[in-house]
Every structure is written in C-alpha cells, then in structure tokens.
Amino acid sequence: MPSLEPAPALSTVMLTQSRVIRAPRARVYQAWADPNFLKQWFGPAAMFLAAVSLDVRVGGTYRIEMQMKPDAPPQARANMSQEAVVTGTYTQIVPDELLQFTWEASWSPDERSLVTISLRDITDGTELTLRQEKFDSEQSRDAHNQGWTRALDNLTATIEA
C-alpha cells in the first residue's frame, strides 16, 4: 500500500510593522480607502500612482498602477520596471478598524500574500499595525519590508502634515 505524502505546509514567512500616527482612526482608515488619498503617499519614491481603483467591501477588488517618474534617478531606472501593478481582493473589512486584502504584484506574479491593516485608538492618535503573510520566500518578505517601511513613513508624514 503506498504511503500518503503530508500536505505541504502553508508559508509561515511574514512581516509586521507598527506606527503611531497622530490622527484619528477614521482619518488613517481613509488614507487606505480613498483612492485620491492613497495617491498622496503610496508607492516607491521613483514611481507615481498612475491609476488607483478601490472597491472597499468584502469581495471587492483593488488595482494600483504605478509608473516610473520622468525624473527618477538612473539607479532606480536600472533596478526597477517602468511599470508595476498590484491587485487583490478585500477579504475582511471593519470600517475605521481593519482592512484585509490579498496582494498580487506584477514583479512577483506567482506569489499571493495577505495584508492586514489594524487600527487602534491610543492616547496620541492611532496605532497602525501592518501584517503581511504567506510570502513565497524570505527574500520577498525582506523586499516588501523595505517597501512598507517607506510607505508607512510617507503615510505618517502625509497625515501629520
């Protein structure tokens, strides 16, 4: 009788980042749920958001299209694609509290990870916790960690300005 192979384990590679943002939860949530607001802070420094579509409801989809800035430095042009697209589906939503969505990026077409944004009231504003999981590799996680660090720094600066 043949033996059964164990089912492959789901990836446990994940990242978590937190920020304290001096703004109400509703304002921080809006930064993720309003396409015009998202355009102000999201994306790599060498790129701009050319198009953003957000259908913020469970089962709704999003699409973020980024393009290289005309004045991007040569190093960015050499190391990055001229265009990048991220798409996904919202899996959980609690307005002003939680957004969860799949993450499928054009630069890593076979990887489908899961992003959870949690918002919590604190004395000085809102604590935002970002968790991304189900990476295919530690290298992918590390690259996303750098991207999210910049994004959350931009988000904080944009909201607190």
pLDDT along the chain (161 residues), means of 10: 46 91 98 97 91 98 94 78 94 98 94 97 96 94 94 96 87
Residue 87's contacts (CB-CB under 8 Å, 6 or more residues apart) are 61, 62, 63, 64, 104
Q: Going from the N-terminus, what domains does the chain have, and what CATH number goes with each?
A: 17-160 (3.30.530.20)
pLDDT score of 123: 94
Inter-CA distances, 32 with 11, 80, 135, 137, Å: 26, 24, 22, 26
pLDDT score of 12: 81
- Both tokens of residue 74? 């040569």
pLDDT score of 45: 86
Query: Please, which residues bridge with residue 113 across strands?
Result: 103
Inter-CA distances, 16 with 43, 78, 119, 148, Å: 18, 29, 13, 10
pLDDT score of 7: 42
